[in-house]
């Protein structure tokens, strides 16, 4: 019986050592997986931020060009019809003056 119990103790010791090694290996695998997923998420977020920046820059450039075009059209209209522009300005000024006077 002592031979059998000694063999069983050695088997248990060997199984525990194998189990420790398996747990350590599993821990390393989980750590590597989590690190890989974190890097993938960071890359996805970085790509999304880059896309948002590009869309914002494109929209800003589009708005700027439209405002410039509208300004150019207004200037051309004023040059073609200066008297009309002066009368419109006078009317807007009078209306603003009357509105501000009624508040006081």
| Prediction pTM value | 0.46
pLDDT band at 3; cut points 50, 70, 90: low
| Interval 39-98: pLDDT, tens | 889 899 999 999 999 999 999 999 999 999 999 999 999 999 999 999 999 999 999 999
Residue entry with tokens 């929209």: 59
pLDDT recorded at residue 1: 45
DSSP result, the chain: -HHHHHHHHHHHHHHHHHHHHHHHHHHHHHHHHHHHHHHHHHHHHHHHHHHHHHHHHHHHHHHHHHHHHHHHHHHHHHHH-HHHHHHHHHHHHHHHHHHHHHH-
Pairwise CA distance, residues 60 & 54, whole Å: 10
């Amino acid at each position: 019986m002592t031979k059998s119990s000694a063999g069983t103790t050695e088997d248990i010791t060997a199984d525990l050592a194998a189990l420790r090694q398996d747990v350590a290996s599993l821990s390393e695998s989980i750590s590597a997986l989590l690190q890989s997923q974190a890097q993938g998420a960071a890359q996805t977020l970085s790509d999304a931020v880059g896309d948002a920046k590009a869309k914002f820059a494109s929209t800003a450039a589009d708005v700027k060009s439209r405002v410039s075009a509208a300004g150019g059209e207004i200037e051309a209209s004023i040059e073609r019809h200066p008297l009309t522009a002066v009368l419109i300005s006078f009317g807007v000024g009078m209306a603003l003056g009357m509105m501000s006077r009624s508040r006081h």
